[in-house]
Every structure is written in structure tokens, then in C-alpha cells.
Amino acid sequence: MTPRRRRMLWIGLLLLGIGLAAFLGLRAFQKNLLYFYTPSQVASGEAPHGYSFRVGGLVVKGSVKRGDGVKVTFDLTDGPATVGVSYEGILPDLFREGQGIIAIGQLDNNGVFVASEVLAKHDENYMPPEVGEALKKNGQIEPNYKDYQK
């Protein structure tokens, strides 16, 4: 095998590998990109129906209600708007009323966000950056927001 032919093979294989990866990657990408929306965006209808996305905000105080088994509902707010969330499962340790959290799931026909996953950060002083920014934009800065950023 001459060096020239080998080089061509090399390049061919490389292109094939990259092509395959790019194809699989982009296909999987489209299906699995999770966009972030604030409760305001959800309320104004910007968030998609029938697709998964993430929504983040503060858990409204007094809104957490238990249902049968491990069902739970609560409201998420970013100040101007609120979205209802329902979840069947176990909430993370640091889930608290008033705490910033992120939920992953889809909107149902009644406008309730059905979460498949609820994330609260392991550090209770930690605010998910998306939530912090959205709150800041709406002028809803927590009194000790600076601590959250640490």
C-alpha cells in the first residue's frame, strides 16, 4: 500500500467517522435539546406544547400540596407569572418553599407543567443561574440574592 493511498484511506475513514458522528449527533441533538423558559414565558404561550423543556423559578410559599401516594403539586413563580407544576416522585432534599428550583417536563392541555424531574441544587446557597437571571430581569431580586451567587 503506497503512502498516498494510505493517506487517502485515512482521510476517507476520518470523513466517514465525522460524517456518521455528525449525522447521529445532529439527529439526536434536535430531539434532546431542552430549552429553558420562565413562568412568564410559559404564561404568555411562548413555551411549546408537546415538547419537553425546562422551567425554573421560586416555589411559591404555601403552594405545595400532597396527593395520593407520592404525587405532589406546587406553583413556580418568577414574579409576574406563576405556573402550576405536578410531579409524581420524590422531591430532592433541598426542595423547599421559597427555594429556586428547575423542573423538566411538558405542559398538559390544562396548562399544568407535568414534571418528570425536579432539580434543586445540592448547595442551598446556590441559585440555578437561569433562575437567578430570570428573577433579576423581572426585578424580583431576593433580599439575599448576593449570597445565592456565591
Contact footprint for another protein (CB under 8 A) = 1, 3, 6, 9-10, 13-14, 17-18, 20-21, 24-25, 27-29, 31-36, 52, 54, 66, 68-70, 88-91, 93-94, 122-124, 126, 128-130, 150
Q: Closer CB to another protein, residue 122 or residue 146?
A: 122
Nearest approach, Cβ of 135 to another protein (angstroms)? 14
CA dist 60 and 130 (Å) reads: 17
For another protein, which is the closer residue by CB, 107 or 131? 131
**Least distance in angstroms from the C-beta of 138 to another protein:** 16
Instruction: In whole angstroms, give the CA distance from residue 83 to residue 78.
Output: 9
Which residues make Cβ contacts (< 8 Å) with residue 3, sequence separation at least 6? none
Q: How far is the CB of 66 from another protein (least distance, A)?
A: 6
Looking at the Cβ atoms of 30 and 109, the one nearer to another protein is: 30
CB of 112 to another protein, least distance (A): 20
> What is the rounded CA–CA span in Å between residue 13 and residue 84?
51
Beta carbon nearer to another protein, 130 or 142: 130
Q: Compute the distance between CA of residue 46 and CA of residue 53 in angstroms, rounded to an integer.
A: 12
- Cβ proximity of 45 and 29 under 8 Å: no
Q: How far apart are CA 117 and CA 101, in angstroms?
A: 11
